[in-house]
Amino acid sequence: MQDLNRLDPKELLRSGRVPSGPLFEEVLADRDRLLDELAKERADNHKLHADLEKSHQLIDRMEEEAKLKRAPA
C-alpha cells in the first residue's frame, strides 16, 4: 500500500490498480480543484510580494530624495 501512496491517482486509475467509480472520480476532481486553488493562491502571493517589493523601493527612493533636498548646498 505504501507504494500506491506515491503514485498519482490518475495513473492508478489508468493502471487498473484501483476500481473506477463515481467516488474515485469525485476525489480526483476535488484534488484537482484544490490544486488549482493552491496554484492561484501561490500566484496571488507572488504578485503581493512583487508589489510589496516595489513599494519598498519607491519608499527608499522617496526617502533618498528627501535627504538630498534637506542636505545643505
Q: What is the pLDDT of residues 20-59, one digit of tens each?
A: 677 778 878 888 899 999 999 999 999 999 999 999 999 9
Residue 7 has pLDDT above 90, yes or no: no
In the numeric block, the cell 530624495 is attached to 65
How far is CA 56 from its chain centroid? 23
Distance CA(9)–CA(12), nearest Å, equals: 5
| Domain boundaries of the chain, sorted by first residue | 2-70
Q: What is the pTM of this model?
A: 0.56
Residue 56, CB half-sphere, CA atoms under 13 Å: how many? 6
DSSP state, 51? H
How far is CA 51 from its chain centroid? 16
